[in-house]
């Protein structure tokens, strides 16, 4: 396990970019592989999660190469994948295993998918259940609760599924299975989760219908290869945004960040806390809104958040908790039980690690209450193998007195290779 030491930082200033969006990168590889023609992807995230997806498609006979920074995926059409000769390894990536379960369920071959030790204890029933209703033959450990998953491809049939969770992974898995199913497949979610699948399938020429919280797809539609420009990941930008807000005297511009409204909850909340954040130069890349984000350090105040906002910032709660730790007053986060089944149980891991800095934090069943204070003390942090815990606590380390050591910092490569170099370049 690698360790990185973080010390009190001078102000963050200048212009920067963040690596490509992880969710959009996964989808561009997956959809490119089953499209007709060659898909060109600019700005693909080369994090470990996306490399798991890339390797899985190579193992199913898809040629993926790179030319002058553009990744080329030679799609073979809806029925062009071939049976993998070995187990597919999704590593730490929940998006890979869950979305691909839907895709693989409708193939005419057998496949097995596994993941790392953190992945193998994450819930898979949430996708196995609806896929089984569609006729899928998909099996996992402990009655289908956990990976490895074993998938005997078969002809699927469309269903109307009412999802109990607002999860883009569940929704996308069913939509992908729906592409291979007879008839119409629809998914209804309690609140809107990120909609990159819907947007990108539209970009590849697939027709989807949206009515409120329900999205429907007709099976058998072919995808046409396209050009994708992957915007910067707002979930990665969030670490730099919070760093610039809490490190005094900072002024930062992060260029070309994806600002899809299903992902910008973090910007809305930080603004409500008093954060000086502006969006400039708004444009659209392949159906996804993009902007430059300008941040100036600010005096933050505690807030209460919950409800429909939660899916719009679910991955940003660890770093939002760091902002709350430096805000005046209390911040209360509720309705975020999903945090318990992320790369780590983030209610537990955020509470355990942030309290080491001297922050008072109360764990709730579905969230947390954080009491802000004026200073933090450096400490030894455990990442629990979770990239976002490692980065959030490194941001806290930038304002803490004394040294903060992040143990297990290699987890950061899952989504933000070059994170520490990016921070260093701004100070």
Query: Where in the sequence numbering do the catalytic residues fall?
Result: 315
Nearer to ligand S3P, 76 or 194 (CB): 194
Q: How far apart are CA 150 and CA 133, in angstroms?
A: 16
Q: What string marks each residue from 229 to 248 as x (binds ligand S3P by CB under 6 A) or -?
A: --------------------
Nearer to ligand S3P, 54 or 398 (CB): 54
Q: Kindly determine how many residues on this chain lie close enough to bind ligand S3P according to the rule CB under 6 A.
A: 11
Torsion region of 74: left, alpha or beta (phi above 0 gives left; psi -120 to 50 gives alpha): beta
Nearer to ligand S3P, 93 or 404 (CB): 93
Number of Cβ within a 10 Å radius of residue 143: 9
Rule CB under 6 A: which of 186-205 touch ligand S3P?
A: 193-194
Nearer to ligand S3P, 186 or 197 (CB): 197
Q: Which stretch binds ligand S3P (CB under 6 A): 154-162, 168-176, 269-277, 395-403?
A: 168-176
Min dist. Cβ of residue 194 to ligand S3P (A): 6
Number of Cβ within a 10 Å radius of residue 168: 25
Min dist. Cβ of residue 35 to ligand S3P (A): 19
Looking from the CA of 261 toward its CB, the CA atoms found within 13 Å total 2
| Structure tokens belonging to residue 335 | 């309705």
Nearer to ligand S3P, 175 or 252 (CB): 175
Nearer to ligand S3P, 21 or 292 (CB): 21
Min dist. Cβ of residue 338 to ligand S3P (A): 6
Residue 314 binds ligand S3P (CB under 6 A): yes
The label of the residue with tokens 């304002």 reads 399
Q: How far apart are CA 383 and CA 318, in angstroms?
A: 12
Residue 315 binds ligand S3P (CB under 6 A): yes
- Are the C-beta atoms of 123 and 145 separated by less than 8 Å? yes
Min dist. Cβ of residue 408 to ligand S3P (A): 19
Min dist. Cβ of residue 197 to ligand S3P (A): 7
Min dist. Cβ of residue 425 to ligand S3P (A): 25
Q: Which stretch binds ligand S3P (CB under 6 A): 77-85, 162-170, 254-262, 392-400?
A: 162-170
Min dist. Cβ of residue 263 to ligand S3P (A): 10
- Are the C-beta atoms of 328 and 300 separated by less than 8 Å? yes
Q: Which stretch binds ligand S3P (CB under 6 A): 29-37, 58-66, 166-174, 270-278?
A: 166-174
Nearer to ligand S3P, 288 or 338 (CB): 338
Residue 173 binds ligand S3P (CB under 6 A): no
Which of 95, 260, 331, 383 binds ligand S3P (CB under 6 A)? It is: 95
Q: Which stretch binds ligand S3P (CB under 6 A): 56-64, 164-172, 179-187, 389-397?
A: 164-172
- Are the C-beta atoms of 174 and 187 separated by less than 8 Å? yes
Helix (H, G, I), strand (E, B) or coil at 180: coil
Long-range pairs for 307-311: beta carbons < 8 A, 24 or more residues apart: 307/191, 307/335, 308/191, 308/192, 309/265, 309/268, 309/269, 310/166, 310/191, 310/265, 310/335, 310/336, 310/338, 311/166, 311/191, 311/192, 311/193, 311/194, 311/262, 311/265, 311/338
Min dist. Cβ of residue 315 to ligand S3P (A): 5
Helix (H, G, I), strand (E, B) or coil at 292: strand
Q: β-strands 160-162, 184-188: how paired?
A: parallel
Nearer to ligand S3P, 95 or 236 (CB): 95
Please, what's the b/e burial string for 12-51 (b: 16 or more CB within 10 A of its CB; e: otherwise)? Answer: beeebbbbbbbbbbbbbbbbbbbbbbebbbbbbbebbbbb
Which of 28, 163, 169, 298 binds ligand S3P (CB under 6 A)? It is: 169
Residue 167 binds ligand S3P (CB under 6 A): yes
Apex 166 CA angle, 56 and 370, nearest 5: 105
- Are the C-beta atoms of 56 and 81 separated by less than 8 Å? no
Residue 23 binds ligand S3P (CB under 6 A): yes
Chain contacts with ligand S3P (rule: CB under 6 A): 23, 95, 167-169, 172, 193-194, 314-315, 338
């Amino acid at each position: 396990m690698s360790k990185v030491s973080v010390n009190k930082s001078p102000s963050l200033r200048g212009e920067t970019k963040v690596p490509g969006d992880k969710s959009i990168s996964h989808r561009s590889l997956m959809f490119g592989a089953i499209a007709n023609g060659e898909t060109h992807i600019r700005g693909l995230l080369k994090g470990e999660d996306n490399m798991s997806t890339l390797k899985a498609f190579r193992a199913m006979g898809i040629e993926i190469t790179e030319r002058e920074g553009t990744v080329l995926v030679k799609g073979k059409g809806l029925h062009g994948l071939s049976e993998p000769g070995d187990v597919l390894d999704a590593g730490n990536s929940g998006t890979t295993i869950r979305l691909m379960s839907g895709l693989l369920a409708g193939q005419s071959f057998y496949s097995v998918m596994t993941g790392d030790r953190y992945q193998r204890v994450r819930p898979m029933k949430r996708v196995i259940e609806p896929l089984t209703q569609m006729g899928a033959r998909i099996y996992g450990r402990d009655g289908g609760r956990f990976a490895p998953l074993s998938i005997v491809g078969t002809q699927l049939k469309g269903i109307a599924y009412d999802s109990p969770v607002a999860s883009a992974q569940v929704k996308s898995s069913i939509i992908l299975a729906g592409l291979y199913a007879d008839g119409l497949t629809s998914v209804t979610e309690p609140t809107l989760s990120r909609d990159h699948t819907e947007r990108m399938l539209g970009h590849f020429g697939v027709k989807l219908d949206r009515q409120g919280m329900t999205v429907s797809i007709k099976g058998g539609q072919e995808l046409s290869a396209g050009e994708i420009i992957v915007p910067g990941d707002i979930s990665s930008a969030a670490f730099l945004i919070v760093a610039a807000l809490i490190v005094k005297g900072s002024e930062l511009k992060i260029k070309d960040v994806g600002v899809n409204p299903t992902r910008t909850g973090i910007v809305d909340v930080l603004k409500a806390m008093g954060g000086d954040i502006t969006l400039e130069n708004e444009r659209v890349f392949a159906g996804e809104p993009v902007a430059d984000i300008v941040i100036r350090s600010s005096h933050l105040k505690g807030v209460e958040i919950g409800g429909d906002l939660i899916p719009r910032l679910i991955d940003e709660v660890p770093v939002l908790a760091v902002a709350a730790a430096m805000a005046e007053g209390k911040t209360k986060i509720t309705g975020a039980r999903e945090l318990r089944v992320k790369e780590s149980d983030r209610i537990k891991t955020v509470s355990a690690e942030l309290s080491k800095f001297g922050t008072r934090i109360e764990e709730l069943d579905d969230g947390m209450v954080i009491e802000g204070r004026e200073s933090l003390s450096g400490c030894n942090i455990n990442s629990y193998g979770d990239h976002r815990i490692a980065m959030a606590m490194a941001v806290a380390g930038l304002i803490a007195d004394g040294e903060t050591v992040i143990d297990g910092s290699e987890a950061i490569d899952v989504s933000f290779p070059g994170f520490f170099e990016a921070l260093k370049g701004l100070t």
